Amino acid sequence: MSSWPPAAKPTRSSSSSSRHASGPPTVGTSTGAHWVRGSSDPLPPEAAVGLRRPSGRLLFPAAALLIFACATPPSPDVTSETEQLFQARLDELRAELGFIGATAAFVLPDGSEGVAATGYADPESDLPMRPENRMPAGSIGKTIAATTALSMVNEGLLGLDDLASRWLGDEPWWTRLPNHETMTLRHLLSHSSGLTDHVYDEAWRAEARSRRGPAGDPDAWFEPRDLVHYVLDKEPLFPAGEGYAYTDTGFLVAGLIMEAASGGAYYDEARRRVLDRHDLPRTVEQIGRTFPDLAPGHVGEDNPFSLPAKTAEGDEMAFSPQTEWTGGGYVSNSRDLARWAKILYEERALDGPYLEEMLNSGYRGEDAGATYGLGVYRADSPHGELIGHGGWFPGWRSTMYYHPESGIAVAVQFNQNELDFRNEVRDALLALLLERLP
């Protein structure tokens, strides 16, 4: 997410729960600038690396893996052996790390796909995790928001360097927004606007708890403009374009710009311009509380919004997820996320070019702490450069990354948020897939 962070309140910078390892059989199938850590799922400073465009394959030594049998036949679009090994490695990782459950998926350079699932969707009812289970993807939805904006740029409706005031200057609150005279759409989509983040505002957190308390309405949610009000009259973290600070509020402002420029609702524009162009059948907007095949999420001790320990019963969430909007805003599954990474980072999401702007925008000072473009991280890993995004939502964590040198995409979703194994599991699964390349 985005609007439900586990991290501490961001500060200006000058330069666990019980394990569920046992369970049912696995189910196969620049100077003076600033960096402010304030994200629900930003990558650590190791993310600050350069990126090369895809340039052939990078092979790695074979990993020492203990292979288990797969309980479900592999999908027909990938070799049986690779998917079995992928399933077995995910099972191993659950046994080693103790997470409740997870789904994972990959897309190989030739487009072949594989999926896996392990552990429980709901340990209370001994319900095993299935590859088709869905979960909120959290801030991974920012990749869809940025792509929607770039579609409008390609169409000529918007310019990345348009002043935001061109579109929102008539809003009654506009002159109270930090950096309102200088911020652009590019700044907003790359977390370089200097805006603070409503996510960490104690007044908003208190109001969120109140709305979702014992006497609250589980269907209550915040409109984007209501959330923007929590950052009004604050000092900017830095001049626009001169630092990096992850902020969901910035993406909400970008969403308002997209609606003003297009004349349409953001979700409608994103579906028409992006989602409906591709085979992503299990990715839906977070509207309402019921989502078929939802794997219930699990919140640990870090629970600033006093949510129930299990954040869904069956297919119904315990609270409305609609607040997230352009800060995330989608329920998905690992197969769809892996497909989306492959499509997006091979520049096939839109008809026109967009990848250079997406990857190379953003603040690049030495103090940035993360290399972030337009809704995308450029990250380091044991296997070289990765591009993608992570996501956090109360009870769930997700990761979606593409390895440019090999053309492999990997996605993993977990139905708990207190223990964060996203990068560890992603890197281990990627190692296996790299070993399997011919």
Kindly report, residue by residue over 176-213, the tens digit of the pLDDT. Answer: 999 999 999 999 999 999 999 999 889 988 888 888 76
Do the domain assignments include residue 92?
A: no
User: Rg for the chain (alpha carbons), in Å?
Assistant: 21
Closest alpha carbon to 402 in 438, 357, 355: 355
**Looking at residues 45-50, what average pLDDT do you find?**
31
3-state DSSP call for residue 276? helix
Q: How many domains does the chain have?
A: 1
- CA-to-CA distance for 416 and 410, rounded, in angstroms? 19
Query: For residue 217, how many other CB atoms are within 10 A of its CB?
Result: 11
Do the domain assignments include residue 25?
A: no
**Looking at residues 56-82, what average pLDDT do you find?**
40
Beta strand residue intervals within 220-356, DSSP E: 243-245, 284-285, 312-313, 316-317, 330-332
Do the domain assignments include residue 227?
A: yes
Do the domain assignments include residue 425?
A: no
Q: For residue 308, is pLDDT > 60? A: yes
Do the domain assignments include residue 62?
A: no
User: What's the confidence (pLDDT) of residue 79?
Assistant: 62
- CA-to-CA distance for 350 and 430, rounded, in angstroms? 26
3-state DSSP call for residue 374? coil
- What's the domain range around 191? 33-55+132-417
Q: What CATH number does residue 50 fall under?
A: 3.40.710.10
Distances (CA, A) of 250 to 128, 142, 185, 196: 38, 11, 9, 8
Tokens of 210: 């109140």
- CA-to-CA distance for 102 and 415, rounded, in angstroms? 6
Residues near 183 by Cβ (< 8 Å), separated by ≥ 6?
163, 164, 193, 194, 195, 240, 253
**pTM score:** 0.83
pLDDT band of 236, cuts 50, 70, 90: very high
Closest alpha carbon to 295 in 104, 128, 175: 128
pLDDT band of 405, cuts 50, 70, 90: very high
Closest alpha carbon to 43 in 361, 381, 357: 381
User: What's the confidence (pLDDT) of residue 213?
Assistant: 64
Do the domain assignments include residue 308?
A: yes
Do the domain assignments include residue 76?
A: no
